[in-house]
């Protein structure tokens, strides 16, 4: 039989992962919609649209994690804005680099390439947010 402490820790981790995933999905949807609209209605290039969308989705992500992922569990950890920004900025750089490479060297449609990149960057974000940005 598992100890109550282990069960509580496992529950907190599963809740945090659920909230993190939900907030990440919301930020990704915002990101995708902005890129789609900027490319299709303002005729901006996908890479420029991606950079603009990242800046907006960053706010969705930060506020969502601050008020849901790392606040809901009532633990004493605090989401550090400077740490979160560094994680997000490095994720943004990774995002833009991978997106450029996919657009340049593959025949993937720009939205498919972005979905692929956002999926990879989501894992990166989770690991660094979990173990460094939330301290």
Taking CA 70 as the corner, what is the angle to CA 66 and CA 72, rounded to the nearest 5 degrees? 100
Q: How many domains does the chain have?
A: 1
The boundaries of the domain holding residue 24 are: 4-133
Per-residue model confidence as pLDDT tens digits over 80-117: 677 778 888 999 999 999 999 999 999 999 999 999 99
User: What SS3 state is found at 57?
Assistant: helix
The C-alpha atoms of residue 101 and residue 94 are separated, in whole angstroms, by 11
Average pLDDT, the chain: 85
Q: So what's the pLDDT on residue 15?
A: 79
Per-residue model confidence as pLDDT tens digits over 59-70: 998 899 888 877
Q: So what's the pLDDT on residue 7?
A: 47
């Amino acid at each position: 039989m598992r100890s109550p402490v282990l069960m509580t820790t496992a529950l907190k981790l599963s809740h945090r992962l659920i909230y993190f995933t939900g907030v990440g999905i919301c930020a990704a949807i915002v990101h995708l919609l902005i890129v789609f609209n900027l490319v299709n209605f303002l005729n901006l290039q996908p890479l420029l649209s991606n950079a603009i969308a990242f800046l907006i989705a960053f706010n969705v992500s930060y506020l969502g994690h601050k008020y849901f992922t790392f606040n809901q569990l009532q633990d004493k950890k605090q989401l550090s804005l400077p740490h979160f920004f560094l994680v997000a900025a490095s994720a943004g750089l990774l995002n833009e680099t991978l997106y450029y490479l996919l657009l340049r060297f593959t025949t993937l449609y720009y939205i498919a390439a972005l979905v692929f990149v956002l999926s990879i960057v989501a894992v990166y974000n989770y690991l660094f947010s979990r173990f460094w940005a939330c301290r």
